[in-house]
Structure 1
Amino acid sequence: MATNTKRKESMADRVYEALKDDIFEFRLIPGDKFSEGDVGTRLNASRTPVREALYRLQREGFVEVLFRSGWQVKPFDFQQVEELYDLRITLERAAMHKICQLPEMPQSVRTLTAIWNPDHPSERAVGSTVRALDESFHCDLVSAAGNREMTRIHREITDRLRIIRRLDFTRDDRIDATYLEHAEILEAIRAGHAVEAADRLTNHIRISQKAVREITMEKIREAAEAHQSSLRTSLENLAKT
């Protein structure tokens, strides 16, 4: 019995990771509809692990169930994204002021300074590593302020924005800008200039926000065009038979 349960959990995890990757890579685009049977057939999985994976993705806000119509990838709510960014900025600005009022600079700030001021450009992180480091940069700064509830709420916002924030690191110019802007924010913090640090941070986040919105729209447009091209090809092949 225990072995069967573990096998089901493993299959549900596999389905979850596969679907999440499809969503993140825009193979499934916002608004795409599908059934549990579609997923099961494609991933060679039974109904139970597929349903468990979909419910997990639903809790995380990536998909939604449709009444008698299966499932769909949740459409982007850009108004909600704007509101989450506003709240994120409010929390991170408050963190800047709290850090600068501390009697001693937190060790995490020193660690971040070393990470975002590499001795040579070749020492910079790439790919998924720089995405993870960027997320840690913002989370570690909020945590350094010492307010546990602020840290918890900020982490929840970070989780909800991850699907689009990751796109900010698909272009080299955005990675270069991130290193420069992070270093400038940390310099202001170490100098005790709370207002400057908060303003630099706000500008940094707003620039990133604008970039990820543009990239998101571009990715959705490209994926939709690819879907339409694939459909036309299928119809043409069907007509020839």
Structure 2
Amino acid sequence: MTLVSVLSPADLPAATLAERAYAQIKQLIFDFHLLPGDRFSEADLTQRVQVSRTPLRQALQRLQREGFLLVFPKSGWQVAPLNFEAFDQLYDLRILLETHAVARLCEAEERPTLRELADTWLVPAEDRLNHPLPVGQMDEEFHAALVRAVGNSEMTRVHADITERIRIIRRLDFIKPARVDLTYDEHARIVRAITRRRTDEAQRLLRAHVEQSKLEVRHITLDMLYQARQRLAAELA
């Protein structure tokens, strides 16, 4: 009989603990448990993520470097407020990458990604998901799949970084039920245009789709953030 030892958090290397704390805190931000503008101390999070001060501080400093947090000496930490100018720039870069990916896909001979996307998005209305959280995750994967299909690892890396940085506001876009249905409709049209190798049409549809999401982001208010927190808490209950 083989005995398997289970390590407690105290037995894990500091680097592993810091990585775990980093992932947990970032998820708290993405799930709106920590809202943009919220202030907190290291003591507030120590029990919440169940790590000691050293790996916790390493995780917080990494999130600060990545732009998710701000630090105020002697007065704690703050979730970075929404920076709409920066988001606009990231959306513009995202449009460049994704329209290029669409053009490449229209020209490609082998396109297995399209079959997978069609199975997800070209479905009858009664088979569509209607919960914002999973549809938001599916939307993110749709756009990532288009870029990955090009086979350019640097494009994929840059696009993944953009995706990470806009995730919080992108998820807010899906607290409106109408946006869920619209996403299915627009994704289906994009997939059909690529399948038919209509490059100009596919790029136009993709650009309009992302631009609309960019406009919706501008309507985000503090009240919407609190509503999102309450809705997510209800979904996870």
Q: Contact between 1:57 and 1:63, CA under 8 Å: does it hold in 2?
A: yes
Say whether residues 1:173 and 2:190 are aligned partners.
no
**Correspondences of 1:1-241 after superposition (within 5 Å):** 4-6=10-12, 12=18, 15-16=21-22, 19-40=25-46, 45-102=51-108, 104-124=109-129, 126-220=131-225
Larger helix fraction of residues: 1
Hey, what's the Cα distance between the residues in 1 that align with 2:189 and 2:150?
Answer: 18
Are residues 95 and 43 of structure 1, via their aligned partners in 2, closer, same or farther at CA, if it must alter by over 3 Å?
closer
Where in structure 1 are there 5+ consecutive unaligned residues? Answer: 224-241
Q: How far is the alpha carbon of 1:82 from its aligned partner?
A: 0.4
Highest CA radius of gyration, 1 or 2? Answer: 1
Hey, what's the Cα distance between the residues in 1 that align with 2:104 and 2:20?
Answer: 42
Identity %, equivalent residues: 44
Q: Which residue of 1 aligns with 2:234?
A: none
Are residues 27 and 129 of structure 1, via their aligned partners in 2, closer, same or farther at CA, if it must alter by over 3 Å?
closer
- 1:214 is paired with a residue of what secondary structure? coil
Q: How far is the alpha carbon of 1:36 from its aligned partner?
A: 1.4
Count residues with an aligned counterpart: 222
Q: Contact between 2:39 and 2:79, CA under 8 Å: does it hold in 1?
A: yes
Q: How far is the alpha carbon of 1:3 from its aligned partner?
A: 7.1
Hey, what's the Cα distance between the residues in 1 that align with 2:23 and 2:160?
Answer: 21
**More displaced stretch, 212-221 vs 88-97:** 212-221
Q: Which residue of 2 aligns with 1:236?
A: none
The one-character-per-residue Cα deviations of 1:52-90 (angstroms, maximum 9, x if unpaired) are: 332343244211222343211112211111000000001
Hey, what's the Cα distance between the residues in 2 that align with 1:151 and 1:5?
Answer: 36
Hey, what's the Cα distance between the residues in 1 that align with 2:106 and 2:127?
Answer: 31
**What amino acid maps onto 1:23 in structure 2?**
I
- 1:215 is paired with a residue of what secondary structure? coil
Q: Contact between 1:26 and 1:219, CA under 8 Å: does it hold in 2?
A: no
Q: How far is the alpha carbon of 1:221 from its aligned partner?
A: 7.2
TM-score normalised by L of structure 1: 0.79
Hey, what's the Cα distance between the residues in 2 that align with 1:79 and 1:215?
Answer: 13
Q: Contact between 1:29 and 1:73, CA under 8 Å: does it hold in 2?
A: yes
Hey, what's the Cα distance between the residues in 2 that align with 1:56 and 1:5?
Answer: 22
Hey, what's the Cα distance between the residues in 1 that align with 2:9 and 2:48?
Answer: 24
Q: How far is the alpha carbon of 1:15 from its aligned partner?
A: 4.8
Where in structure 2 are there 5+ consecutive unaligned residues? Answer: 1-6, 229-237
Are residues 113 and 216 of structure 1, via their aligned partners in 2, closer, same or farther at CA, if it must alter by over 3 Å?
farther
Q: Contact between 1:29 and 1:220, CA under 8 Å: does it hold in 2?
A: yes
Hey, what's the Cα distance between the residues in 2 that align with 1:57 and 1:72?
Answer: 11
Q: Contact between 1:167 and 1:216, CA under 8 Å: does it hold in 2?
A: no
Q: Which residue of 2 aligns with 1:227?
A: none
Provide the aligned C-alpha RMSD in A: 2.9
